[in-house]
Amino acid sequence: MNQPAIARSWVSHANGHSDFPLQNLPLGIFSRGSEAKRCGVAIGDAILDLEAVLAMGFFEGQAKAAVLATQGGTLNAFFALGRAARVALRERLLELLGEQSEHQAMLEGALYPASTCQLHVPAQIGDYTDFYVGIEHARNIGKLFRPDNPLLPNYKYVPIGYHGRASTIRPSGTDVRRPKGQTLPAGQSEPSFGPCARLDYELELGIWIGQGNDIGQAIPIGDAAEHIAGLCLLNDWSARDIQAWEYQPLGPFLSKSFVTTISPWVVTAEALAPLRCAQPPRPQGDPQPLSYLLDKRDQAAGAFDIELEVLLLTERMREEGGAPHRLALSNTRSMYWTVAQLVAHHSVNGCQLQPGDLFGSGTLSGATPGSYGSLLEITEGGKHPVELPNGEVRKFLEDGDEIILRARGVCDGEVSIGFGECRGRVIAAN
């Protein structure tokens, strides 16, 4: 694809759009009213209905096969087709939506205002794995519990992860019910049961798996990037007080499984190509990855340069008509491992990955205050509350608080693309 960076669309509001210009074309599953779920493409402030465009006869060959694979309201079969189908669909959409398209009059009938559509989780998620690849976050958390030894010995050798709960993954805009569970209050010897008092968010990247692998067959690191369909934003909501009591010896359980929020658009690997960059070199003295995790091409262009942002909108701000307050500005370059390394490591023991599986990157914090991706880090476990512009303070999230995650990639000579928002508002426990 040699689409110039300055390409424009006949969809005028897409030109210069902060998230969804012609260069992006992310895929998602949407519905209107009582109509069935189907695949759409975000373009500016609108959604193009791919099934309607298919019915008009505008797709052929691999592009047609790609759209047919989206029928049924999930992208799993489309993900399974791999890169060639994604490229064919993208190239055809660039032609249809480009400024010189001859089909504008007909296509306008398949274009709906995004505000009139409901967005859904884009695939049937069979499995969800949450990793821990943000090294600054790992250091910050480690310092709270092990000031003299924040990183455990395995961190720089193994992409750490745990198996999460796929059934409670929800799209942006879904309310977050405050969870209940066991906690061990300070100074007590026995746990109590009740609503979480230390509710937190985690700023993460979501990674959608495309083509999978057979059980027993590892995905080589040199091929792993071909198994990534695209990315989204992910908020790994965390009940810190429940987590502190339960996490030893097997790690997170109820503290993480109550809900995970994702942005509903899949920003494809092809749209992300201009945002690829070299993996930051490891500091002197750090071990090199073991051979099954090391590939020259992946090290040269397997990382992403994507700006990440966290905002907080409280109930009081909402009532007063105030703007959300930025809590953090970070970047995906803080990832110690590439997404290809996550795929290679996850499958190296023969574990079967399947189209539509989802990975979380782990919290992506920067190295300095103002770039921390969770309240646990920002407040140092609640010791130093955040002071908001309207006079409110927060140690952890209160009922009515809404967390908004945003992401944007900007490269010299390229049009910026975004991910759309990942929002969730906390509501009271049952």
CB 154 within 8 A of CB 183: no
Give the Cα separation of 168 and 262 in Å (integer).
11
Output the six-digit token pair for 369.
């205050």
Catalytic residue among 13, 17, 137, 384: 137
The set of residues, in sequence order, having a beta carbon less than 8 Å from that of 285 and lying 6+ positions away, is: none
Phi and psi (nearest 5°) for 392? -70, 160
CB 10 within 8 A of CB 45: no
DSSP character string of 44-70: TTEEEEHHHHHHTT---HHHHHHHHTT
Number of residues that make up the chain: 430
Give the Cα separation of 222 and 82 in Å (integer).
16
**Is there a catalytic annotation at residue 137?**
yes
Give the Cα separation of 184 and 340 in Å (integer).
39
Cis peptide bond N-terminal to 252, omega within 30 = no
Instruction: Give the CB-side neighbour count of residue 147, counting CA atoms within 13 A.
Output: 1
Give the Cα separation of 98 and 384 in Å (integer).
51
Which residue, among 254, 191, 196, has the nearest Cα to 398 in the 3D structure? 196
Residues annotated as part of the active site:
137
